[in-house]
Amino acid sequence: MKNIFLTCFVVLVSLNSVSAQEIAKGRVYLDSNKNNKIDRREKGIADVAVSNGKEVVLTDKDGRYELPVDDDEIIFVIKPSEYNLPVNDKNLPQFYYIHKPEGSPELKYKGVDPTGPLPKEVNFALWEGEYKEEYDILVFGDPQPYTEKEVDYFDRDIVNELEGVEGYEFGLSLGDIVGDDLDLYTPYINSVARIGIPWFNVYGNHDMNFDVEDGEYADETWEATYGPATYSFNHGKVHFINLDDVIYPREDGLGGYVGGFTEKQLEFIKNDLAVVPKDRLVIVSFHIPTIYEGANPATFREADQKRLFELLIPFENTLTLSAHTHMQGIFFVDNKFGWNGQYPHFHYNVGTTSGDWWSGTPDQQDIPETTMRDGTPNGYAMLRFKGNQFTIDYKVARQEASVKMSIWGPKVVPRAEWFSTEFYVNYFLGNDSTLVEYKLKDSEDEWRRMSRVKMGDPFITDLRSSWDKSDVLPAGKRPSNPEVSTHLWKTGVPKGMPSGEYTMLFRVTDLWGRQFFGEHSYRIEER
């Protein structure tokens, strides 16, 4: 039998160095009847990657693999593009085996039950799939409910409009699945299951077992619920890597958590990417952004960011996804942030489904307004793939798909005043490559550029101050204070116009060449 440890694309493992470990053996096979066991006529699949979270090996011609494991390990299959993963009755992918003979330590929230001795074989089923180079996925940032009532907000605000949706291959939530109460995993899972597509989840800083002294056990409830917090899979011409990037407790003597990766994770990424063709788009998803304009650099370990970037540089097409900030931003990462590739790296910090932590005044449906601190309404992202290229769209919760921006401007201005009143356009997916222009409706004027500004969205400033000026305590949770928006443009109201009613048109051209339009009506009056 071919020795899979000598395959040119796999990691060499010296069994002498792991004498204290066991060897997991098994097969990856095509589960034709989807009964999760190898039947006589079901064959193994060759050249499929399998990992223990550090080493990565490829199956031989019969679908067989071998991997070293210790007494706290998760073995998982890395799905090839042309196959599907089995899912359970809640649409959670089933691609892993937990080897934890003694189970999890006793914690506030339940961890993994004792798994007992390592089975003779740990086999992984794959379902027949279709290789697609063009497809769409859904991406959620921070659902983060702290109570069952907030799970209900999420369910009615986000999931209701997606129940039974068609045209998406799978979904991905980017951490802070819940807000510290890990018992809320179950109602969250039940809610997302209604969407009806396979759903992957990323570990966040509010998904931890906080009652641990050793960070090794901070993800015990996560593992019992979702499996590994670091894993990968392929779909079409895209390789997805989902990472736990929460270091807790910190290793620098300070309290709390910090963003970063362990040595084991970095080894996994290196070994995983060694078997990925260089023409693939590589998407690395995690919760805490490695970079964010204006963010405290102490929130992510710079050395870990640098090592991740070094591993990604050989791939021409790369994208990292994060959430955590409860703001939205698209960034082109260059050497200022430690990226030394030929082209800038693309990072998308995704707006959150919970918006501003489910804050604000409830509407007629008793759902909070919860607009984020940078002026982005709560909602979710959609990634569309064509080969190794992608486009991004953002859908505002419970609004028409055409809602791409908010516009702030006066309702009435005095004629012939020397000072200028201003219009603001917040294009929710705006970035360095976005062009925002304006002109008066029904005029022969040319389109004129608006100026990009880095400041708080005046809508958010006004909204927050209305809470402080109110003589009556408003319903709901007080919103957070405004933060600098990275996707805001402004221009002055044209001067010298006669009294009358006017409508200003606004045109956004984004980095993919898409154009979106908005308008704002106002009037000019004599004093």
Chain segment 60-75, per-residue pLDDT in tens:
999 999 999 999 999 9
Amino acid 14: pLDDT = 38
Amino acid 293: pLDDT = 63
Residue keyed to tokens 């002109």 = 439
Amino acid at 148: E
Q: What tokens were used for 390?
A: 């992608």
Amino acid 21: pLDDT = 80
- Whether the per-residue pLDDT at 13 is higher than 70: the answer is no
Amino acid 272: pLDDT = 98
Amino acid 418: pLDDT = 62
Q: Closest by alpha carbon to 89, among 36, 43, 130, 142?
A: 36
CATH of the domain at 422: 2.60.40.10
The 3-state DSSP class for residue 51 equals strand
Chain segment 209-231, per-residue pLDDT in tens:
999 988 889 999 999 999 999 99
Average pLDDT over residues 294-300: 62
The 3-state DSSP class for residue 158 equals helix
**20: buried, middle or exposed (CB in 10 Å: 19+, 13-18, 0-12)?**
exposed
DSSP classification of residue 43: P
> Does residue 486 lie in a domain region?
yes
- 234-264 CB burial, b ≥16 within 10 A, e <16: bbbbbbbbbbbbbbbbeeeeeeebbbbbbee
Q: To the nearest whole percent, how much of the chain has pLDDT over 90? A: 83
Confidence class for position 486, pLDDT limits 50, 70, 90: very high
Higher pLDDT, 307 or 16: 307
Q: For 199-344, where are the E strands, in sequence order?
A: 199-201, 231-235, 238-242, 246-247, 258-259, 281-285, 318-322, 329-333
Confidence class for position 527, pLDDT limits 50, 70, 90: confident
End-to-end CA distance of the chain: 92
Q: What tokens were used for 308?
A: 């991740």
- Whether the per-residue pLDDT at 11 is higher than 50: the answer is no
Asked if residues 67 and 49 have their Cβ atoms less than 8 Å apart, the reply is: no
Average pLDDT over residues 499-511: 96
- Whether the per-residue pLDDT at 8 is higher than 50: the answer is no
Q: Closest by alpha carbon to 395, among 182, 39, 139?
A: 139
Q: Closest by alpha carbon to 242, among 317, 175, 184?
A: 175
Choice among 63-77, 284-298, 460-474 with the minimum mean pLDDT? 284-298
> Does residue 490 lie in a domain region?
yes
What is the C-alpha separation between 201 and 141, in angstroms, rounded?
10
Contact partners, residue 160, CB within 8 Å, separation at least 6 = none
Cα–Cα distances in angstroms (integers) from residue 256 to residues 178, 181, 237, 248, 461, in the given order = 18, 17, 38, 7, 30
Count of beta carbons in the 10 Å neighbourhood of residue 471: 4
Rounded to 5°, angle at Cα 274 from 273 and 278: 70
> Does residue 77 lie in a domain region?
no
Amino acid 5: pLDDT = 38
> Does residue 289 lie in a domain region?
no
Q: To the nearest whole percent, how much of the chain has pLDDT over 70? A: 94
- Whether the per-residue pLDDT at 133 is higher than 70: the answer is yes
Q: What tokens were used for 375?
A: 């002026």
Average pLDDT over residues 271-291: 96
- Whether the per-residue pLDDT at 366 is higher than 60: the answer is yes
The domain tally of the chain equals 1
**435: buried, middle or exposed (CB in 10 Å: 19+, 13-18, 0-12)?**
middle
- Whether the per-residue pLDDT at 485 is higher than 90: the answer is yes
DSSP classification of residue 420: -
Average pLDDT over residues 266-275: 98
Q: Closest by alpha carbon to 381, among 391, 370, 371, 395?
A: 395
Average pLDDT over residues 19-43: 90
What is the C-alpha separation between 198 and 136, in angstroms, rounded?
13
Residue keyed to tokens 């960070």 = 215
DSSP classification of residue 324: -
What is the C-alpha separation between 92 and 360, in angstroms, rounded?
32
Q: What tokens were used for 517?
A: 């339009």
Amino acid at 421: T
Rounded to 5°, angle at Cα 260 from 50 and 246: 80
The residue segments making up the domain with residue 456 are 405-525
Confidence class for position 208, pLDDT limits 50, 70, 90: very high
Average pLDDT over residues 233-254: 93
- Whether the per-residue pLDDT at 524 is higher than 80: the answer is yes
Q: What tokens were used for 511?
A: 């980095």
What is the C-alpha separation between 470 and 468, in angstroms, rounded?
6
Summary mean pLDDT of the chain:
93
- Whether the per-residue pLDDT at 456 is higher than 50: the answer is yes
What is the C-alpha separation between 140 and 380, in angstroms, rounded?
5
Chain segment 171-200, per-residue pLDDT in tens:
999 999 999 999 999 999 999 999 999 999
Q: Closest by alpha carbon to 252, among 287, 212, 303?
A: 303
Average pLDDT over residues 65-89: 97
Choice among 1-15, 108-122, 476-490 with the minimum mean pLDDT? 1-15
> Does residue 58 lie in a domain region?
no
Count of beta carbons in the 10 Å neighbourhood of residue 150: 22
Confidence class for position 421, pLDDT limits 50, 70, 90: confident
> Does residue 327 lie in a domain region?
no
Amino acid 71: pLDDT = 94
Cα-only R_g, the chain: 25
Amino acid 338: pLDDT = 83
Q: For 389-444, where are the E strands, in sequence order?
A: 389-396, 405-408, 412-414, 422-427, 435-440
Average pLDDT over residues 336-353: 91
Average pLDDT over residues 305-330: 96
Asked if residues 212 and 218 have their Cβ atoms less than 8 Å apart, the reply is: yes
442: left (phi over 0), alpha (psi -120 to 50) or beta: left
Average pLDDT over residues 294-306: 76
> Does residue 382 lie in a domain region?
no
> Does residue 441 lie in a domain region?
yes
- Whether the per-residue pLDDT at 9 is higher than 50: the answer is no
Chain segment 145-179, per-residue pLDDT in tens:
999 999 999 999 999 999 999 999 999 999 999 99
Asked if residues 63 and 43 have their Cβ atoms less than 8 Å apart, the reply is: yes
